[in-house]
């Protein structure tokens, strides 16, 4: 083994082991039959004492736990390592993400512990799902708590041989939707050891790449025009390739934008793209430095705002609204937001392409809360825009809502709970009930045959002053931005 290509870092007792070689995430769709949920939604679950823990269980998690809870995990992915994990301040290998359907996911990782003499070390393994820790080919510990987003830690004392010791971790879980998919392996106590990565390039080159990524930054926190440049803490001493993958938010359906450039020896600033080349929004830039067969990635975020694109500001409010909706429709992210411009008077003539293909019902509901609230407020404040004295029909609903309603009738949630059973089993806050009901019981009929939203005293304005009709005189509409 070429020791010049061994990238070492000394470990102190209590340190996390933070350098790994890992595989792509392997995934298996996990569908379950529709079943009613038990109990009511706890209105205080966001105030849970345990960070990120949601104290209710969806049917897909119940089914998953019946099969795998407290049973030794069985890896279902091949041991094929493709990427390198460098910490950049993190103690854990964190592959958290978002899956639109319930999916069983897992991944392999590997690193090496280098010991001068044989002896014992105590390791602590932490994850939210399940996992196996292997040392020199033997399973030394496993965990299978499988509680969504709730960390569980175990400690184990293992024997190391003199020299390099092969440490591998398999970890898996059920992604109900969003998931904290990570593990952390701590060196708690024991004989002195180093963490070592077997690199395809010399250790000196690895150290330089890590330093450059650790200290890189954008020139500005937001860009409205001009070039987007990456600034590095020091000039490069060798040629490096910069690949940049530009992504939207976690639920965006936009295709990633792939950019590539070179960082030459002596160069400290690299141009990535011009602002006009990228869509507006807060964007994630996955920046990868490559040298030979080694690639190391780090993600930075920056806001893109085409503020200078508007050459002439419309004089009237109506024209400004029209321009804003047109901009969202033509330049917005591929998500429900892009369907908002289908609401104006052109509703009957528009047939928008559904943008929620692949979404589960719960994800769709979360995305359309602002839309439903805005429609309801419009109906209350200006009956002529969206009649609210009767359940909306095709003449009073935009095509987006019509097609979405049909889709919801056929959809199954990612939790394995059908739309019908969701209605029965979820106790929604008043604000949501107003948004999703065709005619909330608390709406008050008026002499004109229409209905208005209840006063603040009814409780329907909790957390949202916009639902107080006193704020919006007859014939006026609340701004969409205040419905979010």
Residues above pLDDT 70, as percent of the chain: 63
DSSP letter (8 states) at residue 320: H
Q: Length of the chain, please?
A: 484
Alpha-helical regions (H) of 188-262: 203-215
User: Which residue pairs from 208-214 have beta carbons closer than 8 angstroms and sit at least 24 positions apart in sequence?
Assistant: 208/236, 208/237, 208/238, 209/240, 209/289, 209/291, 209/294, 209/296, 210/86, 210/296, 212/236, 212/240, 212/263, 212/289, 213/86, 213/88, 213/287, 213/289, 213/296, 213/297, 213/298, 214/88, 214/298
Domain presence at residue 45: yes
Question: For residues 416 and 146, what is the distance between their CA atoms, to the nearest angstrom?
Answer: 18
- pLDDT, mean of residues 234-263: 90
pLDDT 10s digits, 393-419: 444 444 445 444 444 444 334 444 433
Residues 6+ positions from 126 with CB-CB distance below 8 Å: 92, 151, 152, 153, 183, 184, 185, 186
The pLDDT score that the predictor gives to residue 411 is 39
**114 and 24, same structural domain?**
yes
**223 and 170, same structural domain?**
no
**110 and 42, same structural domain?**
yes
Q: What is the CATH number of the domain that holds 276?
A: 2.60.40.2950
Question: For residues 450 and 268, what is the distance between their CA atoms, to the nearest angstrom?
Answer: 65
**45 and 182, same structural domain?**
yes
- pLDDT, mean of residues 362-391: 48
Whether 383 and 392 have beta carbons less than 8 Å apart is answered as: no
**For residue 27, is pLDDT > 80?**
yes
Q: Last residue of a domain, which of 164, 198, 232? A: 198
Domain presence at residue 477: yes
Sign of CA dihedral 388, 394, 398, 401: positive
C-beta atoms surrounding 341 within 10 Å: 21
List the structure tokens of 455. 């006063």
Whether 153 and 221 have beta carbons less than 8 Å apart is answered as: no
- 459 is in which domain, residue-wise? 332-483
Domain presence at residue 300: yes
The overall average pLDDT reported for the chain is: 75
**99 and 71, same structural domain?**
yes
| 198: three-class secondary structure by DSSP | strand
Q: What is the CATH number of the domain that holds 189?
A: 2.60.120
Domain presence at residue 472: yes
Domain presence at residue 149: yes
DSSP letter (8 states) at residue 128: S
Confidence of residue 340 (pLDDT cuts 50, 70, 90): low
| 328: three-class secondary structure by DSSP | helix
**374 and 232, same structural domain?**
no
Whether 147 and 51 have beta carbons less than 8 Å apart is answered as: no
**For residue 49, is pLDDT > 90?**
no
Q: Last residue of a domain, which of 168, 198, 228? A: 198
Give the Å distances, CA to CA, from 148 to 130, 142, 159, 167, 281: 11, 17, 32, 26, 30
**374 and 453, same structural domain?**
yes
Question: For residues 334 and 339, what is the distance between their CA atoms, to the nearest angstrom?
Answer: 9
**143 and 253, same structural domain?**
no
**393 and 294, same structural domain?**
no
List the structure tokens of 161. 């041989």
- Cα-Cα-Cα-Cα torsion 30, 31, 35, 40, nearest 10 degrees, comes to 50
**434 and 299, same structural domain?**
no
Question: For residues 341 and 299, what is the distance between their CA atoms, to the nearest angstrom?
Answer: 32
Question: For residues 93 and 89, what is the distance between their CA atoms, to the nearest angstrom?
Answer: 11
**222 and 188, same structural domain?**
no
pLDDT 10s digits, 217-227: 999 999 999 99
Lowest-confidence pick of 47-61, 104-118, 296-310, 414-428: 414-428
**89 and 10, same structural domain?**
yes
How large is the angle between the packed helices 361-381 and 399-410, nearest 10 degrees?
140
Domain presence at residue 204: no
Domain presence at residue 315: no
**For residue 462, is pLDDT > 90?**
no
DSSP letter (8 states) at residue 453: P
List the structure tokens of 378. 């419009």
Q: Last residue of a domain, which of 171, 198, 225? A: 198
C-beta atoms surrounding 58 within 10 Å: 23
Report the domain count for the chain.
3
Domain presence at residue 54: yes
Whether 144 and 133 have beta carbons less than 8 Å apart is answered as: no
pLDDT 10s digits, 193-226: 999 999 999 999 999 999 999 999 999 999 999 9
pLDDT 10s digits, 110-135: 999 999 999 999 999 999 999 999 99
């Amino acid at each position: 083994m070429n020791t010049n290509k061994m990238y070492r870092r000394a470990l102190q007792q209590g340190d996390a082991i933070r350098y790994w070689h890992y595989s792509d995430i392997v995934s298996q769709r996990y569908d379950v039959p529709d079943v009613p949920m038990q109990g009511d939604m706890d209105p205080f679950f966001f105030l849970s004492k345990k960070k990120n823990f949601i104290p209710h269980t969806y049917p897909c998690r119940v089914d998953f736990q019946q099969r795998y809870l407290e049973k030794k995990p069985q890896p279902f992915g091949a041991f094929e390592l493709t990427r390198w994990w460098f910490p950049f301040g993190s103690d854990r290998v964190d592959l958290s993400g978002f899956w639109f359907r319930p999916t069983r996911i897992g991944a392999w990782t590997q690193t090496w512990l280098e010991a001068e003499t044989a002896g014992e070390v105590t390791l602590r393994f932490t994850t939210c799902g399940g996992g196996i820790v292997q040392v020199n080919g033997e399973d030394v510990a496993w965990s299978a708590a499988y509680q969504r987003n709730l960390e569980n830690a175990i400690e184990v004392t293992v024997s190391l041989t003199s020299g390099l010791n092969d440490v591998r971790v398999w970890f898996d879980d059920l992604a109900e939707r969003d998931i904290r998919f990570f593990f952390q392996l701590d060196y708690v106590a024991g004989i002195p050891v180093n963490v070592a990565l077997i690199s395809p390039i010399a250790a000196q080159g690895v150290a330089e790449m890590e330093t450059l990524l650790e200290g890189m930054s954008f020139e500005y926190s937001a860009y409205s025009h001009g070039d987007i440049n990456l600034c590095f803490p020091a000039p490069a001493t060798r040629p490096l390739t910069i690949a940049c993958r530009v992504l939207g938010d976690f639920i965006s359906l936009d295709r990633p934008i792939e950019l590539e450039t070179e960082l030459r020896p002596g160069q400290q600033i690299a141009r990535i793209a011009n602002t006009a080349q990228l869509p507006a929004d807060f964007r994630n830039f996955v920046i990868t430095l490559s040298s030979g067969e080694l690639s190391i990635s780090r993600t930075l975020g920056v806001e893109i705002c085409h503020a200078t694109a508007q050459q002439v500001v419309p004089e009237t409010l109506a024209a400004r609204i029209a321009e804003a909706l047109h901009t969202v429709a033509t330049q917005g992210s591929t998500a429900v937001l892009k369907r908002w411009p289908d609401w104006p008077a052109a509703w009957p003539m528009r047939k928008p392409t559904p943008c929620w293909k692949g979404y589960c019902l719960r994800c769709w509901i979360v995305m359309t809360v602002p839309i439903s609230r805005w429609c309801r407020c419009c109906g209350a404040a200006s009956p002529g825009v969206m009649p609210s004295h009767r359940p909306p029909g095709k003449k009073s609903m935009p095509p987006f809502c019509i097609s979405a309603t049909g889709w919801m009738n056929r959809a199954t949630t990612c939790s394995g709970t059908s739309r019908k059973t969701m209605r029965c089993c979820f106790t929604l806050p008043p604000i949501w009930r107003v948004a999703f009901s065709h005619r909330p019981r608390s709406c008050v009929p008026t002499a004109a045959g229409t209905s208005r939203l209840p006063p603040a005293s009814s409780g329907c304005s909790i957390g949202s002053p916009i639902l107080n009709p006193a704020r919006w005189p007859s014939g006026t509409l609340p701004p969409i931005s205040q419905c979010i």
